[in-house]
Amino acid sequence: MMVNPSEIPEIVIDENLFSQKLILTLKKIGVKVRFLGRGILDEKIERYIETHNAVLVTGDHELYSILGWEKSLYLENWNSLRDKIIVIKAFLERFYK
């Protein structure tokens, strides 16, 4: 199933889960995805999420707890790329109309 990016928010990948393969695979299936960079303060990430109607995919449990399940998805970094894609796609399905 292809993801229609006009129906879902932008996905921000946190530095602790960042990989070029993850970004490229998400873009390939039609997901709007952004990596803000390394060393970005949590407060700046929170502000970006709120002002850009985005959601965060993170391995940082503390940041996930602050943003909550509505605006973030918590993943362990040991998950395979395939597993991460499956979970992210399932997470995005709730934004479909």
Q: 36-74 pLDDT, tens per residue?
A: 999 999 999 999 999 998 999 999 999 999 999 889 999
pLDDT band at 30 (very low <50, low <70, confident <90, very high): confident
Q: What percentage of the chain has pLDDT greater than the value 90?
A: 71
Q: How many CB atoms lie within 10 A of CB 96?
A: 10
Task: Give residue limits of the domains in the chain.
Answer: 48-59+68-97
pTM to 2 decimals?
0.86
Three-class DSSP labels, 26-67: HHHCCCCEEECCCCCCHHHHHHHHHHCCEEEEECCHHHHHHH
